[in-house]
Amino acid sequence: MGKIKQNPFVQKVGFNRIVLCFVLFLLYGFFCAMTQGRFAGMNRILSALNYAYFLGFLSLGVTFVIATGGIDFSIGPVMFCCALISGYSLVNHGIPMAAAMIISLVVGLAFGLFNGYLVAYWSVPSFITSMASMNIAKGAASVFTKTQSVSWPQASAEGGWYRNIIKMGNIPVGLIIFLVIAVICAIILNKTRIGRYILSLGSNKEAVRLSGVDVKKWEMIAYIICGLLVGISAIFYVAAYTTVQPGYGDQYNNEAIAGCVMGGTSMAGGLASISGTVIGVFIIALLQEGILALGFTKDYQLIITGIIVIVAVFSDVVARRRKN
Amino acid sequence: MGEVILTMKDIDKSFPGVHALDHVDLEVRKGEVLALMGENGAGKSTLMKVLTGIYTKDSGTITYEGKEVEFHNTREAQDAGIVIVHQELNMLGHLTVAQNIFIGREFKKGIRIDDRKMNEEAKKLFDRMNIGIDPTETMSRLTVGKQQMCEIAKAISHDAKIIIFDEPSAALTETEIEELFKIIRDLKAKGLGIVYISHRMDEIKVITDRVTVMRDGTYVGTLITKDSTKDDIINMMVGRVIYEDPKTQNMVPKDAPVVLKVDHLNAGKLVQDVSFELHKGEILGFSGLMGAGRTETARALFGADPIDSGDIYIKGKKVTIKSPQDAVRCGIGYLSEDRKRYGIVVQKTVAENTTMASLENYMSGIFIDKKKEKEVADKYVESLATKTPSVDQLVVNLSGGNQQKVVIAKWLTRDCDILIFDEPTRGIDVGAKNEIYKLMNTLAEQGKAIIMISSEMTEILRMSDRIVVMCEGKKTGELDISEATQENIMNMATREIG
Nearest chain B alpha carbon to A199: B348
Other C-beta atoms closer than 10 Å to the C-beta of B170 total: 16
Q: Is A268 on the interface with B (CB under 8 A)?
A: no
What residues of A are in contact with residue B346 (Cβ under 8 Å)? 203-204
Q: Is the separation of the CB atoms in B59 and B9 below 8 Å?
A: no
Q: Is the separation of the CB atoms in A116 and A177 below 8 Å?
A: no
Nearest CB partner across the interface for A207, out of B344, B367, B370:
B344
A165 HSE (CA, 13 A, CB side): 22
What residues of A are in contact with residue B304 (Cβ under 8 Å)? 209-210
A275 within domain boundaries: yes
CATH number of the structural domain B4-238: 3.40.50.300
Residue B498 confidence (pLDDT): 42
Alpha-carbon span B459 to B480, nearest angstrom: 15
Residue B242 confidence (pLDDT): 43
B349 DSSP 8-state letter: B
Q: Is the separation of the CB atoms in B84 and B74 below 8 Å?
A: yes
Residue B37 has pLDDT above 80, yes or no: yes
A49 within domain boundaries: yes
Nearest chain B alpha carbon to A213: B325
Q: Tell me: the pLDDT tens digits for B462-474?
A: 999 999 999 889 9
A3 within domain boundaries: no
Contact A270 B347 (CB under 8 A): yes
- Which ipTM did the prediction report? 0.86
Mean of pLDDT over chain A: 90
If DSSP codes are grouped into helix, strand and coil, which group holds residue B197?
Answer: strand
A78 HSE (CA, 13 A, CB side): 36
> Which CATH number is B258-493's, of 3.40.50.1580, 3.30.420.40, 1.50.10.100, 3.40.50.300?
3.40.50.300
Q: Tell me: the pLDDT tens digits for B316-361?
A: 999 999 999 999 999 999 998 888 889 999 889 999 999 999 999 9
Beta bridge partners of B106: none
Structural domains in chain A (count): 1
Pairing of strands B332-335, B418-422: parallel
CATH of residue A189's domain is 1.10.3470
Domains in chain B: boundaries:
4-238, 258-493
Nearest CB partner across the interface for A206, out of B342, B347, B396:
B342
The 10 Å CB-count burial string (b at 16+, else e) for B72-92 is: eeeeebbebbbbbbebeeebe
User: Mutating which of B301, B302, B338, B347 best tests the A interface, going by the most A Cβ atoms within 10 A?
Assistant: B347
Q: Tell me: the pLDDT tens digits for B130-168?
A: 888 899 989 888 877 788 888 888 888 888 899 999 887
C-alpha separations of B26 from B5, B35, B135, B219, B231 in Å: 11, 11, 36, 8, 22
Contact A210 B336 (CB under 8 A): yes
Identify the domain containing residue A73 by its residue range. 15-316
Topology match between the domains B4-238 and B258-493: yes
Residue B429 confidence (pLDDT): 65
pTM: predicted TM-score of the whole model, two decimal places: 0.77
What residues of A are in contact with residue B327 (Cβ under 8 Å)? 212
Average pLDDT value for residue range A166-192: 93
Q: Tell me: the pLDDT tens digits for B232-273?
A: 888 888 765 444 566 778 888 888 999 999 999 999 888 999
Q: Is the separation of the CB atoms in B138 and B95 below 8 Å?
A: yes
Contact residues for B328 (Cβ-Cβ < 8 A; gap 6+): A211, A212, B357, B414, B416
Beta bridge partners of B73: none
If DSSP codes are grouped into helix, strand and coil, which group holds residue B323?
Answer: coil
Residue A126 has pLDDT above 90, yes or no: yes
Residue A43: φ, ψ to 5°: -65, -40
The whole-angstrom distance between residue B169's C-alpha and the CA centroid of its chain comes to: 15
A4 within domain boundaries: no
Alpha-carbon span B224 to B212, nearest angstrom: 9
User: Mutating which of B345, B346, B373, B394 best tests the A interface, going by the most A Cβ atoms within 10 A?
Assistant: B345
A324 within domain boundaries: no
